[in-house]
Amino acid sequence: MRRILHVVIISSVIAFTVLAAYALCVGGLGYELPPIEPRTLAKIYLSTTFNPSLRILSAMAPEAVTAIVWDYRGLDTVFETTVLYLAIIASIAIMRGIEHHEPYDEKKGMSIIGKTATKIIVPFIVGVAGAIALHGHLTPGGGFQGGATAAVAPLLVLVIFSVYFLEGIGLTKNRALVLRSTGLLGVGITSFIVFMIALIKGFNAFILQNQPKPYSPIGLPYAFNGNIIGGTLLLFNISEMLAVAAGFTILFILLAIPEEKVKKVISSQGESHG
């Protein structure tokens, strides 16, 4: 039985490898990987992403991927954020009513070596995450990337120092929820900000608009004091980073609650409901 399983696994891996290599070599991607010449669709985006002579089509941010994610197809990204938000709401709903607090002391968590290394590494992680998110409109990166990187820092603290240390320094589940809601509120407000300005000034505008478009001659400034900020992209990146980092932190705080505690609360709920 076990021999057959091995044969099946190895042959399927080999078949997958050969097929994927064949598709990459002679498929629609061309003979060079990565291709030296960008494709026609890529050329359209690359020529409009930062083009001051074509303001009406341009997103005015040099980073094409962030411009596509938050400007060309902003509504898709808002829905992606909503999906993540609903998943975290669901996990909070499942774990409702389960509170577990203990004071932190030096005996909890891992050894002093791990704790010292974490103390050195965590500021670097937060710094890199901030750089990825705040430069998202200029260099590769963006809100989700920065937020996911930032979420590694509380995760490390939680595993190495224990969850009680995280709660001791003030990052409880409810505060993370407030941070997450602030981030989502930022995404929501930024979606409507050009629309609101246009409403006050008496122009037409679109939801999730960034730069001036046909029929709507209004938009956020793409540069501030000589620095390119990409209009709404910087605001979107900051808000998304807050929302993603706090969302993952909530998940890990919930996962770190001891299992016996969870079982006790869930079974007592079952008794009280019948």
Partner 1 sequence: MTYILPYILMALAALGSIVAVYLAIIEKDLLKAALFSAIQSTLYALLYYLLMAPDIVLTYIPVAVGLYPAVLIFLIKKTERYEGES
CA 227 – CA 232 distance, rounded (Å) = 14
Interface pattern 205-224 for partner 1 (x via CB under 8 A): --------------------
Report the Cα 196 to chain-centroid distance in Å: 26
224 φ, ψ (degrees, to nearest 5) = -125, 115
Minimum CB distance to partner 1 smaller for 149 or for 211: 149
Smallest gap from residue 140 Cβ to partner 1 (A): 4
Question: Is there binding between residue 84 and partner 1 (CB under 8 A)?
Answer: no
> Which one among 3, 4, 6, 274 touches partner 1, defined by CB under 8 A?
6
Under rule CB under 8 A, how many of the chain's residues touch partner 1? 27
228 - beta bridge partners? 223
> Which one among 3, 28, 34, 53 touches partner 1, defined by CB under 8 A?
34
Smallest gap from residue 182 Cβ to partner 1 (A): 21
CA 254 – CA 272 distance, rounded (Å) = 23
Stretch that binds partner 1, among 79-87, 100-108, 203-211, 253-261 (CB under 8 A): 253-261
Contacts of 143 (CB under 8 A, 6+ apart): 70, 133, 136, 236, 237, 238, 239, 240, 241, 243, 244
What token pair was written down for 246?
Answer: 């706090």
Question: Is there binding between residue 184 and partner 1 (CB under 8 A)?
Answer: no
| Cα 29-32-34 angle, rounded to 5 deg | 75
What token pair was written down for 89?
Answer: 């709401």
Smallest gap from residue 195 Cβ to partner 1 (A): 28
Question: Is there binding between residue 148 and partner 1 (CB under 8 A)?
Answer: yes
> Which one among 4, 33, 83, 112 touches partner 1, defined by CB under 8 A?
33
> Which one among 7, 11, 13, 110 touches partner 1, defined by CB under 8 A?
13
Q: How many alpha carbons fall within 13 Å on the CB side of residue 85?
A: 20
What token pair was written down for 72?
Answer: 């060309």
What token pair was written down for 159?
Answer: 């595993």
3 state SS of 223:
strand
CA 235 – CA 121 distance, rounded (Å) = 27
Question: Is there binding between residue 248 and partner 1 (CB under 8 A)?
Answer: yes
Question: Is there binding between residue 178 and partner 1 (CB under 8 A)?
Answer: no
Positions in 59-78 near partner 1 (CB under 8 A): 65-66
What residue has token string 């050969």?
Answer: 18
Give me the residues that bind partner 1 (CB under 8 A), please.
Answer: 6, 9-10, 13, 17, 33-34, 65-66, 132, 140-142, 144-145, 148-149, 151-152, 155, 159, 248, 251-252, 255-256, 259
